[in-house]
A and B are shown apart, each in its own frame.
Chain A
């Protein structure tokens, strides 16, 4: 007899005497089959108690008659745990982006009022004053003192020829027939005081910084130090938590290069720099000529107004005079605007806060240094994540408490019912 035969016969119900004898002999030499026979004797052979038989029947009937309270299957429990983890993580990240522990970025100061005391406005006033002083005078006479006043106004543009501006103007007695010559003379006098070229310089600069607050303040200070003013300032924060600022500054044209150099050396990385220079000289001359002609025409009409003999002539002259005055004012405004653009450059500054990962990549000092910085950054970020997670849990506690209490009470009721009705 071998072990397979022994095992097969061991579980048979009836065995002959011979088979039993063979099995006995086999167990003497085979401890494995001896063990199998010992294990066989562990099998109970008793009848099922009456209580057990009726108990399961009653339980099944009761299950059928009552609402089934099923335990949730394993996959549902795993899914609920996974969903809870996702909600907790999302909540912690969301709290982190709210930056509850960090104060909001300081707003840039509001732009101060414009144009008070600037050079261009002073010059414009002088020119307007000179023009208005000619009102009512027979013939357009450019008084020497008016020209001298205009010439005396400090000229800020370095490219302007100051010598020409100080040249004395000739005093000319004008008559109506000499208006054209007057214009020519006035042109010369005007040219003597005006710069030879009108260049409008503007700039756009984009900066990426890891120290946003510091660089924003530095930029604002640099504007003031160079004699300029902030005409607009806008600060925002995007979804990733990084901040951006967009500033528009008016810098005196001769200080533009120094201002840009300050930004390049003292702030973060310059990612874009555009400087434009537009020559507006021809346009300026054109405006100037048109203004002079319009002025002469206006003055002449004033003279004619005094000489009008009848009402219809008077009305016609007045209409033309009004039109001429409007033209003079419009051209004067355009020249003033051009002067301002020449005198003050517009600089648009975009300041962008870079993400910590970007700052690590840009760190100087080799790969090991960046590894070290990256590790310390990650540890700091993980610490902040844990803080935000705790904060989220505390914030969610009032919302979770009520359903938790309800669920606990339901669980207690069901447990009590089960104990009462096993």
Chain B
């Protein structure tokens, strides 16, 4: 009975953040199925350590911390993430609204190359780029998630970006410039119709 009350209390506390955790897992793992598995594993781990959770800490940061570790563990087991097939959903095609057919092809190709380059990075560098540049989390929250000082996070992120840039320099023609506006690039993938 006591454990059942504890479970309900945990569900009530974690439910508002389930979407963010799910999207965090999705951005790491690149597929819905993997993201669902990672979400479930994250919540189970969080529940098991719920009694030791210091309530004064932010719940979302705590859950994200667990989610990042779950995703890193799963990434080590599965290599392929953020493939082009994930960008093209089942039965859906990318419909671009950018001017000209060549621009959408160029963008698709850039995303594919970017995903592959990100996949080849070391887990630590990849984590920093996903948390900051993909999800847009503040430096302080990233530092809390990774249990590192903010300065270490910033310097690590700079090195990760440089490493990614170096990989992408092989395709300088695609990444040196862009004909797509910033507004277009800020649109989420699901809105690319």
Contact = CB atoms under 8 A, between A and B. Distances in A.
Interface stretch (A63-71, A143-151, A189-197, A269-277): A63-71
A42 interface: yes
Say which size band chain A's interface belongs to: 35 or more
A45 B190 contact: yes
Nearest to A58: B40
Given A20-B182, A42-B27, A60-B11, A28 B177 contact: yes
Contacts of B114: 35, 38-39, 42
Contacts of A68: 48
Contacts of B118: 42
A11 B188 CA distance: 12
Interface in B168-187: 168, 175-178, 181-183, 185-187
A46 B190 contact: yes
Interface stretch (B54-62, B93-101, B128-136): B128-136
Contacts of B36: 49, 51-52, 55
Contact of B134 (A23, A24, A42, A59): A42
Contacts of B115: 42
A63 B39 contact: no
A38 B22 CA distance: 21
Contacts of A52: 18, 22, 35-36, 39-40
Contact of A41 (B26, B40, B176, B189): B189
21 contacts: A23-B182, A24-B181, A27-B182, A31-B165, A31-B175, A31-B177, A41-B186, A41-B188, A42-B118, A44-B27, A45-B191, A48-B39, A49-B36, A52-B39, A55-B40, A56-B42, A59-B40, A60-B7, A63-B47, A64-B3, A65-B3
Interface of A: 10-11, 20, 23-24, 27-28, 31-32, 34-49, 51-53, 55-57, 59-61, 63-65, 68, 70
6 nearest A-B pairs in the assembled complex, by CB-CB distance: A11-B136, A45-B188, A64-B7, A39-B133, A52-B36, A56-B43
